[in-house]
Structure 1
Amino acid sequence: MSPLPLPLPLPLDDLSVGLPAPVRSPSAARLTRLTLALLPLLSIGAWAAVDWHAVRDGAARLAAADPWWLLAGVFFTCLGWVSAACVRQGALPERLPPGLLLASQFAAGAANHILPASIGAHAVTLRFLQGRGVPLARATASLALYSLVKPLAKTLVLIVFLVALPDALRLGALVPDTSALLLAAGGAALGLATAPLLLMVVRPLRRPALGFVRTALTEARLLHTRPSRVLALWGGAAATPLLQGSVIASVGFSLGLPLSWTQVVLALLLASTAVGAVPAPGGIGPVDAALVFTMVAFGAPMGLATTTVIGYRVLTVWLPLLPGTLVLSALVHRKVL
């Protein structure tokens, strides 16, 4: 009787044949999305615990202010989100849903006050654009155009103010000396030369960088052939500092600040231009100090200027922070972001 033939070993690719397929539980994905939805709330809670004294003092000082002027400040704050949504729409050829776009900018405002240098707002907007079907390269080019147009438009508004009202504004204490101007010019030249030098040294960066520049230039050229996009992009960018200055002026008027609307807006333009490049969450810190200094140079008392800036931060940061964080969590939960 001949022995039975031994079965041939199965190849490695067939070892899984006949075995039950691994069951993937949706609990892990659900837990990840829940964590992402709750993370902004936890961050806001930690930040509030650290900076609680500023919030308490600002709210206490605003309790004695004129409520109608404060209501006007809230109105201008809301218009600021509309302005941001207009600039975002103007930087992209595709038409975005207005309601979701406005909600994303409201949520981006909350994220912007957590991470420095507008990283939070750009991250939220990038996720929103990708969720709308915009490719990553074009979405990134849109963010770059947005980041470029805003300071350019603010500079143009500042020039208009300086040219239109040269005598009504006391700028003597704010004009830097020659050494400061040379230092600023040297820093700007160094920053402009860094990018080409980096591309020359690091060759793997050349192709993606050139591709990004090509995409950004193509998008910008296309957008500037459409008057509606030009109006939304540049008009919204120019309106943003005016609305922010209107919020500060409204808070100042509610407290009796002895400055005009023009002086307050110019103080904001000068302060944000001088230290706006310093990476801080939402510009809090450097811009606040420069804004207080500028308003004092225009003739405002130090204590009143400080209280005005604190009230401005309460209206634009702390008051919408919890609703904005809730909207951010809701958008993440609904997979809009």
Structure 2
Amino acid sequence: MSDDVRLEEARKHALRPWSAESIAELEREALNDEEMPRVQFSGKALALGVLFILSIVAFLYFVLPQIEGLNDTWHRIEQGSPWWLGVAAVFTVLSFGGYVLLFHGIFAPGAPRQLTAAEAYQVTMAALAATRLFAAAGAGGLALQAWAMRRSGMSRKMVADRTITFLVLQYAVYMACMVIFGVGLYVGLFSGPAPFAITVVPAIFAAVAIAISLLLALTPTDLQRRLEGFARHGGRLARLAQKLATVPATMSQGVRDAIKHVRGRDPSLAGAVAYWGFNIAVLWASFRAFGDSPSLAVLVMSYFVGMLGNLLPLPGGVGGVDGGMIGACIAFGVPSSLAVVAVLTYRAFAFWLPTLPGIVAYFQLRRTVNRWRAEPLPQTTTG
């Protein structure tokens, strides 16, 4: 069955038969897989988390009011609107709803075992908690997601391909927005200040990332097989190159599948737009809680430029994202006192609010995985 036919049938939720041999192989592979990453509270990590919270509180109470140009920060905090803070909380929930929608739309169709929306919620929120708080055997949220999908009966290749597809579709919205709003601000299409460093430079970065992703789609998905002869006669380096060929081949398959989802107008793609859109709406509501919000284009670019702080090796981007987002807002002319309070409020919602349900989902996922272990894979599945 070709990739086009497989994806089309999966999208329409058609029944697809699985042979007894393939099911047995998947079950053996899942049973032989590694154990579930355990929740391990690290004393050092817990202490650092508490210290971070105390530092933020002390910073808000004692330092900000003393900094020149931030004398009205404390007054902004005191006069924050509870109504707008409530709106920010609602937007946070909707944002992660979009994340779950995208995950379910990518991983559920054509899977060997039916993945319900509730199970997709457990996987995504548990992975979020692992990223935020836990030492999950040295693995992050994506590793936990991949492990759970393996336990559901998916092959390693299927998990790898769909993980790449999921990430490509999620971050395609990110990169497209940086190009559109960065260039749009600089050429005057959108209203607002347009510093070159935080409009054109991020737009170039995003355009290069998009181009590289599209070029990866040109890599043969069976590159490893094509290099078998070269590996047999080329020595150790040739064998190493043949093994490493799985990386660009997997990337290529993931990008190709992502393109097919876009061409097929998969409804789950709305989840990617909702995830980023409602995240930005949380930042907008945080600004409205303490004052006026900047223009839409400025808000979008400040958000995405700040999110580049996730590239720093910090847990959950703590510190890097906050500083980057505050700095971008100030560079766009937002008053520093308003930028600091709004961004820290946004981070409180986006970073900490989903953590508690994520912890609950982690333990729910453990029960779900135990149930999967006890249930044989069905002979036919609904995608």
| TM-score, with structure 1 as normaliser | 0.70
Determine helix, strand or coil for the equivalent of 2:172.
helix
Give the distance between the partners of 1:91 and 1:216, measured in 2 at CA: 15
CA contact (8 A) 1:85 1:102 kept: yes
- Aligned partner of 1:48 in structure 2 is 49
* Paired amino acid for 1:271: G
1:203-222 map, 5 Å:
203-211=238-246, 213-214=248-249, 217-218=252-253, 221=256
- Aligned partner of 1:157 in structure 2 is 177
Matched residues, percent identical? 19
CA contact (8 A) 1:87 1:146 kept: yes
- Aligned partner of 2:380 in structure 1 is none
Q: Where do 5+ consecutive residues of structure 2 fail to align?
A: 1-34, 62-73, 216-230, 373-383
Residue 158 of structure 1, CA deviation: 2.5
Closer, same or farther in 2 for the Cα pair 1:51/1:218, shift >3 Å?
closer
CA contact (8 A) 1:36 1:332 kept: no
Q: Where do 5+ consecutive residues of structure 1 fail to align?
A: 1-31, 193-198
Residue 100 of structure 1, CA deviation: 1.1
Counterpart selection for 1:271 from 306, 330, 333: 306
Counterpart selection for 1:91 from 103, 106, 116: 106
Closer, same or farther in 2 for the Cα pair 1:159/1:216, shift >3 Å?
closer
Over the aligned positions, Cα root-mean-square deviation in angstroms equals 4.1
Residue 50 of structure 1, CA deviation: 2.7
Determine helix, strand or coil for the equivalent of 2:315.
coil
Question: Aligned residues, how many?
Answer: 291
* Paired amino acid for 2:169: V
CA contact (8 A) 2:98 2:272 kept: yes
Residue 245 of structure 1, CA deviation: 1.0
Give the distance between the partners of 2:297 and 2:134, measured in 1 at CA: 31
Residue 168 of structure 1, CA deviation: 0.2
CA contact (8 A) 2:160 2:250 kept: no
Structure 1 position 245 matched with structure 2 position 268: no
Counterpart selection for 1:139 from 127, 137, 159: 159
Residue 263 of structure 1, CA deviation: 2.4
1:1-337 map, 5 Å:
36-37=38-39, 39=40, 45-54=46-55, 56=57, 64-92=79-107, 93-94=109-110, 96-114=115-133, 120-162=140-182, 166-172=189-195, 174-175=197-198, 202-211=237-246, 213-214=248-249, 217-218=252-253, 221=256, 224-225=259-260, 230-232=265-267, 234-273=269-308, 275-332=309-366, 334-335=368-369
Give the distance between the partners of 2:98 and 2:294, measured in 1 at CA: 25
Determine helix, strand or coil for the equivalent of 1:53.
helix
Give the distance between the partners of 1:57 and 1:249, measured in 2 at CA: 25
Q: Bigger radius of gyration, 1 or 2?
A: 1
| TM-score, with structure 2 as normaliser | 0.62
Larger deviation, residues 118-127 vs 132-141: 118-127
- Aligned partner of 2:7 in structure 1 is none
